[in-house]
Chains A and B, each alone.
Chain A
Amino acid sequence: MSERNGPAARGAIAGGPQQSESLLDDLYKDIILDHYRNPRNRGSLGAARTCFAEGANPLCGDQITIEVTLDGDRIEQVQFDGQGCSISQASASMMTDYVKGKTVEEARGAAGAFQRMMTSGEPPEEDLGDIEALSGVAKFPVRVKCASLSWKTLEQALLARGAEAQATVTTDERSAR
């Protein structure tokens, strides 16, 4: 049995302690850690909200609530609250920053672009600003669901419109031991 026959050694992921460090830095870019440490738009809109949804990944304990105030078709206010890993919380913070002031259609388009970035690892086709920093997450398949949770929850909130959210959104796909 060769000692270096694992999938990780087949070149999918760069190696060595040095590369390990940069691999980690790929995931935890400064801008991401900054949003984690100083979340934007965190809190509740209270009575001003016109729609909201909850998202949770019970397997890892990520949990997000997204509240939106719509002015016609425009996202006037958006806030998130919740707890979870740095990726899930930073992604929510960046997402709220980005979609504020956009139309529902534009926000949905951004959600799609974000999702494609998560699968491809390529920079998004549409300029998502800071959010591009999350493209490194694509190299860590188990973390993709952390980054995606807030976007999925936003989409659900926008679907719900005036009504209360029907179900808790999850990006957990698998059960685990």
Chain B
Amino acid sequence: MNQSNGPRPFDVEAIRRDFPILKREVRPGVPLVYLDNAATSQKPVQVLAEITRFYRDHNANIHRGVHTLSMEATELYENARQTVATFINAPDPRGIVFTRNVTESINLVAHGWARKYLHEGDEVVLTEIEHHSNIVPWQILRDERGIVLKFIPMLPDGTLDLDYARTAIGPRTKLVSVTAMSNALGTIVPVADIVAMAKEHGAKVLVDAAQQVPHMPSDVQALGCDFFAFTGHKMLAPFGIGVLWAPVELLDAMGPFLGGGDMILTVTLEQSTWNEVPHKFEAGTPNVGGVVALAAAVDYLSSLGMEAVRAHERELVDYALRRLGDVPGVTIFGPPDADQRGGVVSFDLEGVHPHDVGQVLDSRGVAVRTGHHCAQPVMAALNVPATARASFYIYNTTDEVDALVAAVEETSRYFGGVSV
């Protein structure tokens, strides 16, 4: 499974051939232009084949049973843990906990770590550009525990107010939990700077890397964070498989999350003892097929090289910013500079509600996301009810950006004269 021959050349046409869905038409004669990658990515044949291969040839429950299939499945599962660890440069595969998605990873930290260590008056610093999954668990904990939440505000250009961050992060801060890249605006957050601020005060740092790991190189050791969460479905893997990384000692010191099978060592009717990490946090039968497929997805991305992935998306977003920015009536939100922006372009078309934009685009096969992108505070800060968002991945092309721009121009004509 491991590609040892180094990165293959970044050839978009060759990549596209690996994704059968991209040949689909949304209606006869209308080819799909898939630009909703921040929501979820498409899956290459290599990953699809791995899922089939697992269920066809190796399917068995893991960590129990001495029979051949169970041992094979266990080996595939634990090898995947190593593959994922290597991908984010985690020093020890036992620091990789498999979850359902990034939402569960963050909730795991809120239950297993924060419930145990945070007390009334302790501060958790978040940002205004977080996905709801990195806001709501902390609000629940606040209501339960009396912790204090602080939010680093967003500046008008979609970047964070780091001066405010410097004053907000202080001796009472116990946790700083930030996204590495905004799914709503594409803002790339200077997480390393924020880690440095947190470390000055001994605070832990959780990085929501849902939009980082699929799109750019990730190195948890270089970053120096304490928790690092991401989700498989945005990086070529199937739904229902996510990851939480934390140093083994930190995981050891945490309380359990879900209770049940696999996470225990011994159970009597009176009490139980916990299994060692990471199994302590993997209660019940895990998504074994999903984990194996995630490893295949990681292998696929590794074969391209994450530097090349980022360079490709940077080029696309730079092109899209220029092309879409030239369309009359279009307002683009977020950082104007492609260096500070992942492959996401959130925009408004004057006089046309994003929902209507999305509808006309769909009639042209162009799939974008419209709405609040699970980031209502960002919409509130921009003072818009919703935006239309195009987001790119490894298989997108400048031709597809052109198709997007043409469809937006057409939307403008279609609703021409509207002055609402």
Q: Which residues of A contact B (CB under 8 A)?
A: 1, 3-4, 6, 8-9, 13-17, 19-21, 23-24, 27-28, 33, 36-37, 58-63, 83-87, 89, 140, 143, 146, 176-177
Contacts and interface: CB of A to CB of B under 8 A. Distances in A.
20 contacts: A3-B23, A4-B25, A6-B26, A9-B25, A15-B27, A15-B28, A15-B30, A17-B29, A19-B27, A20-B30, A20-B363, A23-B363, A58-B372, A61-B353, A61-B355, A63-B385, A84-B385, A86-B352, A87-B355, A146-B355
Contacts of A27: 359
B403 to A, nearest CB: 12
B28 A60 contact: no
B360 A24 contact: yes
Contacts of A59: 371-372
A177 B28 contact: no
B29 A15 contact: yes
Given A27-B359, A86-B356, A140-B359, A61 B385 contact: yes
A4 B353 contact: no
A16 B359 contact: no
Contacts of B417: 37
B30 A17 contact: yes
B385 A1 contact: no
Contacts of B384: 61
Contacts of B142: none
A59 B371 CA distance: 6
Contacts of B420: 36-37, 83, 89
B155 interface: no
A16 B376 contact: no
A86 B28 contact: no
Contacts of B167: none
A20 B365 CA distance: 9
Interface residues of B, number: 35
B211 to A, nearest CB: 12
| Chain A CB within 10 A, most for which of B363, B364, B414 | B363
A24 B414 contact: yes
Contacts of B370: 60
A101 to B, nearest CB: 27
B30 A60 contact: no
Nearest to A14: B27
Contacts of B214: none
Interface in B17-70: 20, 23-30, 39-40
A59 B386 CA distance: 8
Contacts of A20: 27, 29-30, 363-364
Nearest to A176: B371
Contact of B359 (A3, A14, A24): A24
A177 B40 contact: yes
A174 B417 CA distance: 33
10 smallest CB-CB distances across A and B, nearest first, come from: A61-B385, A15-B28, A85-B355, A15-B27, A85-B353, A61-B386, A16-B29, A24-B363, A20-B363, A86-B356
Contacts of B419: 37
Contacts of A6: 24, 26
A16 B418 contact: no
Contacts of A63: 385
B371 A60 contact: yes
Contacts of A86: 352-353, 356, 415, 418
B374 interface: yes
A3 B30 contact: no
Interface in B308-332: none
Interface in B351-401: 352-356, 359-360, 363-364, 370-372, 374, 376, 379, 384-386
Nearest to A22: B363
B20 A1 contact: yes
Contacts of B23: 3
Given A24-B360, A28-B414, A37-B418, A84 B353 contact: yes
A3 B25 CA distance: 7
A6 B24 CA distance: 8
Contacts of B376: 58
| Chain A CB within 10 A, most for which of B353, B360, B364, B419 | B353
A58 B374 CA distance: 10
A16 B40 CA distance: 26
Contacts of A140: 359
Given A4-B28, A20-B30, A36 B418 contact: yes
Given A4-B24, A61-B385, A85-B356, 20 more contacts: A3-B20, A13-B27, A15-B25, A15-B30, A17-B30, A20-B27, A24-B359, A24-B363, A28-B414, A36-B418, A37-B418, A58-B376, A60-B371, A61-B379, A63-B385, A84-B355, A85-B355, A140-B359, A176-B374, A177-B374
Contacts of A84: 353, 355, 385
